[in-house]
Structure 1
Amino acid sequence: MTDTNASEQPEDGTAITAATFRAALEELEEPVATASAVARVLDCSQTDASDALDRLAEAGKLDRQDVGDDPVVWYPREFADFVDPEHVVIFPERRELVVERPEQFTRAQLTQFAHLVDSADEAYIYEIREEDVWWAPYDHIDGLVGTMRDVLSEPAPKLEEWVERQWTRARKFALTTHQDGYTVLEAESPDLMGNVARQKLDADQLHGPISDTESWVVEGKEGAIKRTLYDAGYPVQDQRELEGGAELDIDLGVDLREYQEDWLDRFLDTGAGVLVGPPGSGKTIAAIGAMADIGGETLILAPGRELAGQWHEQLLTHTSLDPEQIGEYHGGEKEIRPVTIATYRTAGMDRHRKLFDERRWGLIVYDEVHHVPAAIYRRSADLQAKHRLGLSATPIREDDKEGEIFTLIGPPIGTDWAKLFEAGFVAEPEVELRYVPWRSEEDRTEYASVEGYERRQVAGTNPAKLDAIRSLLADHADAKTLIFVEWLDQGQEYSDALDIPFISGETRYPERERLFDEFRRGERSRLLVSRVGDEGIDLPNAEIAIVASGLGGSRRQGSQRAGRTMRPSGNSQMYVLATRGTREEEFARNQLRHLAGKGVRLHETDAS
């Protein structure tokens, strides 16, 4: 006998009762659940689930917990005594925090000033690094310290003292504009100018001194100065008054969401920044909104031609710009127009660089901005504009140079991923790490007999993975699916065996675009892709992502591949296949650790 009664039946027909809610908890294997999680299990909208759960709470069937603007969680009333509170342990000397069972509100606050190092079960380990303090999104140190005190379980005076020192250190140098129009490097004191700036920078970067605390900057060397002083532990505040360039009227043809408006307001306050949000959260649309508000000629830099083409389409679709106002400049086309979309590589080449330097841009947009610290892209950061806006879902780098991104382009501006999942703006993917056994003892022996890169390849191409993929495709027969592989031979083998097209860097551009376009329009439901699909490819509504190999890659790669399924509608799932008993297990956990810190649910299973 269930406890269903008339008071539990909502007018909209969403039949969620206390009994069905408990059943949903059992399926989720959790003691509490958000409205979006219940909606996913019971196949209804997040709004309907929230309304129904509110009715159950009002009827005394459920309890709820709400921390500020953090997503609400519901649980059976009898569970109240067993719900464990979060617990924060501080290690001031190591500048580390261990948070047990962190609430989403706490995780959101921690992202303002700390870096997730690891997560295991219910424990999250955070580290507070110098760059986390340097670019914390606060106008004054009091705001940062106030957030820390809200999160920490006990006073931490030594940690606060260190944070205040780092905050002050990040404001020792500034680039300003002299009344005669040239750029000046200013130091807080003569000692800093003489013993730091003058020692680290040479005549190619600084002309003669103007005063004991000011030096005249060589034109075009602003980016190099920022990098050099950043490496010395002194990020530079960019306070230049740059020309805005020619005006350009742009009307935006779409309404921005509340969090996108917040991104835009924070960016316009400073004139520089990096939008950080999950794939599908609308960073491109927010950047187009910035173009409309600034109203100046704009240069958009992208990693490749595919992304340049997608920008072109987005601009024509969502703005009042005419086709003749938009140009592309890369290996395929070379047109400089009021809005120009170029590749990083082309913009950094000496023979093309002058064309970009001669034009005064009101805004430069750096898409997939995590590329900027790389040697072949770095020169593009020297291009000057009144406003600089970077975009990235994952501004992390395995060489730990993400701080350089923010000193070259601007401070991070973002929204907690979990909030966007809960609000239904982005579909939260479920990520399952599935361990695959060896197909035969001979395969296991081959793995044991080789070393290094070859051993990784043997594990990555374990023949049993093909059977695991067939099983997953059968389980999700009607879903739009992407399968990622690392090696070209493996991709071609799977393509032949599964009768699915394989797209790699060797695929000709027209053929690649045709297949991607068919996938976007729903004319094709499955694709095999190499690393070419890791970023910069718009693949909306991909419901399933299967990572067959490539687990030696970066944390950013893991986030990007999961991001192929993060879109504003539907449920999505990512399966990561790792050969049991090999280093792939460790690589997979490292890749997915970053996702766990963003609020994405992770599960581990064994393939049969």
Structure 2
Amino acid sequence: MTDDPSSQATGDEPQEQATGDGSDDHPEALTIADFHDASQKAGRPVLTAAAVARALDLPQETASEALEALADRGDLQRHSVETDPVVWYPSELEDLTDRERVVVFPKRREIIVDRPDQFTRAQLAQFAHLADGNGEDGYRYVVRPEDVWQAPHDEFEGLARTMRQALGQRSDQLEDWVESQWDRAHQFRLATHEDGYTVLEGQSPEIMGNVARQKLDEEHVHAPISETEDWVQEGSEAAIKRILYEAGYPVQDHRDLLSGEDLPIEFTVQLRGYQQTWVDRFAESGEGVFVGPPGSGKTIAAMGAMAHVGGETLVLVPSRDLARQWAETIAEYTSLEPHQIGQYHGGQKNVRPVTIATYQIAGMDRHRSLFDDREWGLVVFDECQHVPSDVYRRSTHLQSRHRLGLSASPIREDDRQKEIFTLVGPPIGTDWEALFDDGFVAEPELEIRYVPWGDDEQQNAYASADGQERYRIAAQNRGKIDEVRFLLSAHPDAKALVFVDYLEQGRALAAALDVPFLSGETPHHERRRLLEDFRRNERDLLLVSRVGDEGIDLPTADLAIVASGLGGSRRQGTQRAGRTMRPAGGALVYVLATRGTREEDFARKQLQHLGRKGMTIREQTVERDGNDGGDGSDDGDATESGTNADTEADDATETTAPDRTGPTE
């Protein structure tokens, strides 16, 4: 790809790598660029004249005549579909199977890429966010302010070169906007004064007076030191970074933080290419969040970061089960001896050069001084999407030279995900589709199955209920028991995980299937035994509550059945689907939703998040003979889901409809 200033479009016309759209010869006519614009709005490459007219706000007759003219010039092909209108598509569409094509929409700051190679993906990942990852419909990248703010370049010219390499052209309009965001990201910084206290510095008196001193008060700063410097209140650094970030000015953190005692760590495994890239990006900035699907090796990459830092490390996790698993993994893959690794939680309390603690313990006043008094070279926040919550946020007050977060899906239903990056660091990751393509992580087959009611009693109860009670009744539809039985019998050789959100439902399924139910009520030693049996193939089926989403490190499986629980959050869908992601492939995920209820809508909307990450989602309606659930045979046909839709479940909440016994952990 080469820079070609002549391809620069104006306004928000798409800028393409190379087509010659004929617009110079027919300036007043519809151009192939206009058609691409309509195609992008419609989300498909093949359009009727009516669809083009709607997208471009033209009379249909005008659109039809313009399409005919484009076809006469050879830019479009026409195809008459039986029982349907004529459809139109670009002539070069037939050639897209063997070449990459990039279209830029500078005004909307969107980039559409067909068949991008790995180099292009890697370049785009440095300044753009993969919004739609369904390869069949192309890849849609969006350039957001936060993507520019965390770009791994010391100078804007380096970022500009990366953009031109990725786009195959120079887009002045997009580059001007990116440069303005680059400038915003370098207006403020935190630094250590020669007397030891922290100073907030602004690039100019104007930016200091018009932004920082308007947004901050005596809780954050003591007093001005100069026109461009304020003396920072001790402990308010995180709040300052969050407030200015939300105002559109990320703060560069250049404080001389203590790095703790040296702790040489040798790493005993070879990192994958993308994992090494993550570690290199982390090394450049000293902070960040590793974002990747379950199974991509974020924990192993974090140990690579530990080896790079070579200092005492605190790892914060949601549960004692994860603390134990972290300790075992560190001992297995690094040169550290067991006496150098400690755990601090309800089960044991040992502070060592590498300590794994739970968020809850680290945030308690009576334990906090133990962590405050030690100089950590690195703090790792596992499952860092929890960090903005009130309970976990206190742990982010722990200061260290390096901070690292890990998350499969750093999203929150309360829209506080930006705080993850202000409190921990910028996102560092590889798009899921690239990992699928390279075979590092296998894409599971995901199917939503719409299940009929198991009996009239529950169906009548649903009809007379309202609000969250309706969702609870649909989630616990007893007809799902027959469907779980059917799916397990259809895959008799699979290692399977069945997920539920409610204790009552879990107990009913456990009794029907005659299997243990692993929930928050299960003693820790019993959890460990069940999980080890599953890992060693001594058990091929586990029924798991919400405690399995993040609180424990579940082994991977061939088959995952989500009997209930996708109405709560997009993150939950990611975690549960991720339990089947592994290099071997062939894994299946079935999501059960009661047909014709709110649960059906929730499941479809929440799984769109996975569709945008590159996973293909099918939908199937389950038909039964009779009212007793029948034999589980299916009469419905599977249809492909619209995986690149933009809407989300606006009314979904973090905790779904508790019943009288309460949802599982």
**What is the one-letter code of the residue matched to 1:384?**
Q
Counterpart contact for 1:200–1:228, Cα < 8 Å: yes
Find the residue that maps to 1:284 and give its secondary structure.
Answer: helix
User: In the alignment, which residue of structure 1 is the partner of 2:228?
Assistant: 213
Residue of structure 1 in register with 2:66 after alignment: none
**TM-score normalised to structure 2 length:** 0.74
The alpha carbon displacement at 1:92 in A equals: 5.0
Contact 1:274–1:392 (8 Å) recurs in 2: yes
**Which 10-residue stretch deviates more, 477-486 or 417-426?**
417-426
Partner residue, 2:244: 229
Partner residue of 2:369 out of 327, 345, 354: 354
Give 1:425 shift: 1.9
Amino acid at match of 2:555: P
1:128-152 superposed Cα distances (whole Å, 9 cap, x missing partner):
4332332234444345445555666
Residues 374 and 601 (structure 1), Cα distance of their counterparts in 2 relative to 1, 3 Å cut: same
Out of 491, 502, 507, the residue aligned to residue 522 of structure 2 is: 507
Task: After TM superposition, give the deviation of residue 385 of structure 1 in Å.
Answer: 0.9
Task: State yes or no: 1:558 paired with 2:578.
Answer: no
1:35-54 matches, cutoff 5 A = none
Count of matched residue positions in the alignment of Structure 1 and Structure 2: 529
Are 1:318 and 2:341 matched, yes or no? no
Change (3 A) 1:381 1:593: same
- Equivalent in 158, 167, 175 of residue 182 of structure 2: 167
Match of 1:252 among 257, 262, 267: 267
1:540 is paired with a residue whose SS is coil
Equivalent residue number for residue 491 of structure 2 = 476
Indicate the residue corresponding to 2:539 in structure 1.
Answer: 524
**Alpha-carbon distance in structure 2 between the residues aligned to 1:124 and 1:255:** 31
Does residue 132 in structure 1 map to residue 132 in structure 2? Answer: no
Contact 2:498 2:562 in 1 (8 A): yes
Mapped to 1, the partners of 2:467 and 2:133 lie a distance apart of 27
> Is it true that 1:335 corresponds to 2:359 in the alignment?
no
Post-superposition offset of 1:187: 0.8
Q: CA deviation at 1:119?
A: 7.3
Superposed displacement of residue 158, structure 1: 4.0
Task: Structure 1 unaligned segments of length 5 or more: list them.
Answer: 1-78
Identify the match of residue 292 of structure 1 among 288, 298, 307.
Answer: 307
Match of 2:324? Answer: 309
Note the C-alpha offset of 1:102: 5.7
Deviation string 1:142-167 (CA, Å, 9 cap, x unpaired) is 45445555666987544443332222
Alignment match, 1:368 = 383
Counterpart in 2 of 1:74? Answer: none
| Aligned match of 1:464 | 479
Whichever residue aligns with residue 300 of structure 1, its letter is V
Q: Distance in 2 between matches of 1:109 and 1:598?
A: 18
Q: Deviations over 1:41-64 (max 9, x none)?
A: xxxxxxxxxxxxxxxxxxxxxxxx
Give, in whole Å, the separation in 1 of the partners of 2:108 and 2:319: 41
CA drift of 1:268 comes to: 1.3
* Residue in 2 that maps onto 1:59: none
Q: Does 1:386 align with 2:401?
A: yes
Aligned with residue 411 of structure 1, among 426, 432, 450? 426
Q: CA deviation at 1:219?
A: 2.1
Distance 1:127 1:293, change over 3 A: closer
For each residue in 1:370-406, what CA deviation from the matched residue of structure 2 results, as whole angstroms up to 9, or x when unmatched? 1111111112112111111111111122223222222
For 1:535, the equivalent position in structure 2 comes to: 550
Shift of 1:353: 1.4
In 2, the alpha carbon distance for the partners of 1:117 and 1:454 equals 33
Shift of 1:292: 2.1
Corresponding residue number in structure 1 for 2:593? 578
Q: Which moved more, 1:478-487 or 1:256-265?
A: 256-265
Aligned-partner Cα distance in 2 for 1:364–1:119: 32
Contact 1:104 1:418 in 2 (8 A): no
Aligned to 1:32: none
Q: Is the 8 A contact 1:438 1:579 kept in 2?
A: yes
Q: Does 1:191 align with 2:221?
A: no
Please give the secondary structure, in 2, of the residue aligned with 1:196: helix
Partners of 2:133 and 2:613 within 8 A in 1? no
Which of these residues, 279, 288, 293, is aligned with residue 278 of structure 1? 293
Q: Provide the C-alpha distance between the structure 2 equivalents of 1:125 and 1:258, rounded to a whole number of angstroms.
A: 24
Output the CA distance in 1 between the equivalents of 2:456 and 2:170.
57
CA distance in 1, matches of 2:566, 2:99: 35
Q: Deviations over 1:449-505 (max 9, x none)?
A: 221111111221222211111111011212111111111111111111111211222
What is the match of residue 61 of structure 2?
Answer: none
Tell whether the 8 Å contact from 2:548 to 2:554 is kept in structure 1 after alignment: no
CA separation of 1:206 and 1:463: change in aligned 2, threshold 3 A: same
Q: Tell me how far 1:226 sits from its aligned partner.
A: 1.1
Indicate conservation of the 8 Å contact 2:101/2:116, yes or no. Answer: no
1:224–1:382 contact (8 Å) kept in structure 2:
no
Amino acid at match of 1:305: R
Partners of 1:442 and 1:156 in 2: CA distance: 62
**Helix, strand or coil at the partner of 1:361:** coil
How far apart, CA to CA, are the structure 2 residues paired with 1:440 and 1:592? 27
Flag the 1:409–1:82 CA change in 2: closer, same or farther, 3 A.
closer
Distance 1:529 1:540, change over 3 A: closer
* Distance across 2 between alignment mates of 1:119 and 1:276: 15
Whether the 8 Å contact between 1:491 and 1:530 is mirrored in structure 2 is yes
Alignment check: 8 A CA contact 1:551 1:588 kept: yes
2-structure distance, mates of 1:604, 1:580: 12
Separation in structure 2 between the aligned mates of residue 583 and residue 85 of structure 1, nearest angstrom: 43
Instruction: Indicate conservation of the 8 Å contact 1:427/1:566, yes or no.
Output: yes
Match of 2:48 in 1: none
In the aligned structure 1, how far is the partner of 2:105 from the partner of 2:374? 51
Secondary structure at the counterpart of residue 534 of structure 1: helix
Alpha-carbon contact 1:274-1:406 (below 8 Å) kept:
yes
Deviation at 1:203, TM superposition (A): 2.3
Amino acid aligned to 2:317: A
Partner of 2:414: 399
| CA 155–244 in structure 1, closer or farther in 2 if over 3 Å, else same | closer
Do the aligned residues in 2 keep the contact of 1:89 with 1:153 (CA within 8 Å)? no
SS of the equivalent of 2:224 reads strand
Q: Map Cα deviations across residues 515-555 of structure 1 (whole Å, 9 max, x no partner).
A: 22222222221111111111242233311111111121211
Match of 1:602 among 611, 617, 620: 617
Distance 1:84 1:262, change over 3 A: closer
User: CA distance change for structure 1 residues 101 and 489 in 2, over 3 Å: closer, same or farther?
Assistant: farther
Corresponding position of 1:37: none
Alignment partners' CA distance in 1, 2:150 and 2:209: 26
How far the C-alpha of 1:357 sits from its partner, in A, is 1.0
**Contact in 1 for aligned 2:432/2:614 (Cα 8 Å):** yes
Instruction: Output the CA distance in 2 between the equivalents of 1:465 and 1:146.
Output: 54
Is contact 1:135-1:406 (8 Å) kept? Answer: no
Q: Find the aligned partners of 1:256 and 1:118 in 2 and give their Cα distance.
A: 28
Deviation at 1:124, TM superposition (A): 5.9
Letter in 1 for 2:350: E
Give me the whole-angstrom Cα distance separating, in 2, the residues matched to 1:517 and 1:579: 33
Provide the secondary structure at the position in 2 that maps to 1:385: coil
Aligned equivalents of 1:288 and 1:518: distance in 2? 27
Q: 1:81 to 1:236 in 2, by over 3 A?
A: closer
Does the alignment pair 1:430 with 2:429?
A: no
* Candidates 595, 605, 619, aligned match of 1:590: 605
C-alpha distance 126-249 of structure 1, shift in aligned 2 (>3 A): closer
Deviations 1:233-276 (A, max 9, x none): 22111112222111112222222222222222221122111111
Q: 1:544 to 1:446 in 2, by over 3 A?
A: same
Using the alignment, how far apart are the partners of 2:208 and 2:316 within structure 1?
34
